Amino acid sequence: MKVYAPMWFNIKTQSSIKYGSVHLWKTISESRGLPKGVKTIIDKVISTNAYFAHPENILIAMIANERSHIRELGIRRILKTKKQPAAKKLRIFKIPPLNWNAKDYTEMIDWSECCITEPPLTIDIKSEDLLAAIENKSFINFSKLPSHTQAVERCVKIITEASSKVCGHSSRDGFIRVKIEARKNLPMFDNKKQYYNVEK
């Protein structure tokens, strides 16, 4: 309860994706005081599910950070990735080894040993706009994007379905949007009376 209850409350009150890496680091930090046997079990679970320790996710937290020097460091790293030539193969989303004694979420991984790639959320943000965010912390706002909710888990099913039906980002996005809109217009379909005609 010393770890789970406070972290549950933190995630509920700070649900944005920009806090994902912070929550992971706090979970690691708070769990260091647990008994050795319990910690061994917890560390294995954390290692398996430490997706917010991936450099892309830590960079998201960094560029939305209250501390300007952390924002600048994150933005500089993203700008460096923007200058790199586009990869010709799919990148592998691999969780790097964790630093269990990190004093800050930015120290959870060894950056020199990681292949740093640009977070998908910043691909469409211009370099000059990112630079402006160094001084203006409110410029980049990820508050509407949840880090992890039951709704996110439900979306995994529809994304998997879309990936098996269509190819390409635009087609997949269109498939998902149409599916969600159809569910809003027709939340239940138990009999023919509930069917509706789509107006053209």
Average pLDDT, the chain: 86
Shared-domain flag, residues 116 and 154: no
Higher pLDDT, 70 or 188: 70
Q: Phi-psi region for residue 168, left (φ > 0), alpha (ψ -120 to 50) or beta?
A: left
- Percent of the chain at pLDDT > 70 equals 89
Domain with 161 in it: 150-194
Q: Which residues contact 106 (CB under 8 A, 6 or more apart)?
A: 58, 62, 70, 73
Tell me the CA distances in angstroms from 131 to 21, 51, 145, 146, one per residue in order: 22, 27, 22, 24
Residues 40 and 100 in one domain: yes
Q: Is 140 among the domain residues?
A: no
- Within this chain, do residues 45 and 100 fall inside the same structural domain, yes or no? yes
> Is the model's pLDDT at 154 over the cut of 60?
yes
User: Based on the domain organization, do 69 and 116 belong to the same domain?
Assistant: yes
Do 17 and 99 fall within a single domain? yes
Higher local confidence (pLDDT), 182 or 148: 182
The answer to the question of residue 87 being in a domain is yes
pLDDT at 197: 56
Domain count, the chain: 2
pLDDT reading at 149 higher than 80: no
Higher pLDDT, 32 or 159: 32
Residue 43 CA to residue 18 CA, distance in Å, equals: 23
**Does position 48 have pLDDT exceeding 80, yes or no?**
yes
pLDDT (tens digit, 9 = 90+) per residue, 106-143?
Answer: 999 999 999 899 998 998 889 998 898 888 766 777 77
pLDDT of residue 156: 76
Give domain status of residue 145, yes or no: no
pLDDT of residue 174: 92
Structure token pair of residue 146: 């949840």
Share of the chain above pLDDT 90, in %: 41
pLDDT band, very low/low/confident/very high, at 198 (cuts 50, 70, 90) = low
